[in-house]
Amino acid sequence: MCKGTCIVAKIDVYEGRKHRHMKANGERVVSRLNEIYQCGKKEDGTYTRMAFSAEDVKGRKLFASWAEALGMTTRVDEGGNLIARMEGQDSSLPAILMGSHLDTVPDGGKYDGVLGCVGGLEVCETFKKEGYVPKHPVEVIVFTDEEGFRFGKGLTGSSAICGQDAGISDSELDIYGEERGRVMQSYGITSEGVKNAAKDPASVHCFVELHVEQGARLYRTNTSVGVVSSIAGVNRYDVTVTGEANHAGSTAMADRKDALVAAAGFINKIPEVTTEHGNEFTVATVGTIKVTPHSVNVIPGTCTFSLEIRDTDAQIMSLVEQKLQETLGDICEKYGVSYTFVPTSFHDPAPMSDWVKENIEQAVKELGIDYSIIPSGAFHDSLIMTSVFPTAMIFVPSEKGISHSRYEYTKDEDIENGCNVLLQTILNVDKM
Ligand code: GLV
Ligand code: MN
Ligand code: MN
């Protein structure tokens, strides 16, 4: 059995009487992860490639230059997805898709998303260097705005490719107050155009996404690879508590209708309610919060915050939503304030495709790498892709389970193992 330190997975391919050993070049992958990371470097010392930003564009150009150097064609579809394509022996066959995203959360890490893009490219580079031509065409996709922190909703590119309405409009504002229409136009796409980016399901054989786990299951059990069983659903809401703005010096405590105090009372209850009505995977988070009028000497009149609920079971998600809403109602009543609870996006939990998952499992076994089958708490473009195309995911460990952070780290040998599993999986599905 090969634990963490195994970097010698060799892939045997028999073509007639020819016998090849194929192996991903882990050093090249790690060096590319570092190069893309630099594309997110900001003056304040953080590394952020916000979707549609100059840093995002820089990272994509670098990625496209690597793909083109391999002789792959590159194009950007109407959803802004960058697609690098290598022809196979038969261009009329449906394509095998790999990929992920290059955009990051604020002050994000080096691996989230980037590994799936660079890993996909590594598979193509290995084929090219070995003179191996797969039967099917192979595409590596850099999806648009997976993270979604800029406009509060992500998975934009994968939704477009799946022909799903990502619920975007030109007039919505980003965190800086810029209109989506203008932001996307400067990126070369429009919200109308995004609706035309659907890929014909018949043109796709399957989609395989390599990603870091972003949780600690693999790390804690010292397991080299995760075969993903399903991806947790994610429902988001905008909650606004409305009280009464009033003078902070002359309004007695008993006379206040402080929107923030009520909101804080609710937020404080979230862990208890979620644990009571959810299961071990259920999570609920308030990630953004705003008060008005936002002045040191004024009692907050309104408090608006995001709420997100995730689980691998849709019924539990609705139960937790219902219980949280009841709790919010009770607390608002106690403080004499009102509230609105507005759903902003819904994604049901999604199982991965059995046959693609089986091909990954077979690949891991062929390479002699230890693995386990695990669910994903984080969402990925695969959450959307699986609704239209046969889709599955490969995870490699995140040290201490840290991700969405500059401290995100995955060992080089785990990166190489992940790329070899991806390579072997693509060879396996190509035979089908
Ligand atoms: C995306 O990485 C998410 O799970 O929020
Ligand atoms: Mn990601
Ligand atoms: Mn992420």
Ligand nearest to the CA of 209: 2
Q: What is the pLDDT of residues 70-123, one digit of tens each?
A: 999 999 999 999 999 999 999 999 999 999 999 999 999 999 999 999 999 999
Which position has the token pair 């634990």?
3
**CA max distance for the chain:** 90
Cβ atoms within 10 Å, residue 230 = 20
From 144, 344, 380, the mutation candidate for ligand 1 (largest count of ligand atoms within 8 A of CB) is: 380
Peptide bond into 137 cis (omega under 30): no
Task: Give the Cα separation of 265 and 208 in Å (integer).
Answer: 43
| DSSP state letter for 335 | H
The reported pLDDT for the residue numbered 11 is 65
Rounded to two decimals, the pTM is: 0.90
2 and 368 Cβ atoms separated by less than 8 Å: yes
Ligand nearest to the CA of 149: 1
Q: What is the pLDDT of residues 130-140, one digit of tens each?
A: 999 999 999 99
For residue 17, pLDDT over 60 is answered with no
Which position has the token pair 């496209």?
64
398 and 212 Cβ atoms separated by less than 8 Å: yes
The reported pLDDT for the residue numbered 5 is 42
The reported pLDDT for the residue numbered 12 is 65
Question: Cα-Cα-Cα-Cα dihedral of 219, 223, 226, 232, to 10°?
Answer: -40
310 and 118 Cβ atoms separated by less than 8 Å: no
Is any atom of ligand 1 closer than 6 Å to the C-beta of 111?
no
How many Å lie between the centroid of ligand 1 and the Cα of residue 189?
A: 23
Q: How confident is the model at residue 153 (pLDDT cuts 50, 70, 90)?
A: confident
379 and 211 Cβ atoms separated by less than 8 Å: no
Mean pLDDT of 202-222: 98
For residue 56, pLDDT over 90 is answered with yes
Task: Give the Cα separation of 26 and 28 in Å (integer).
Answer: 5
Is residue 284 within a helix (H) or strand (E), and if so which, with residue range? strand 283-285
HSE, CB side, 13 Å, CA atoms: give it for residue 183. 23
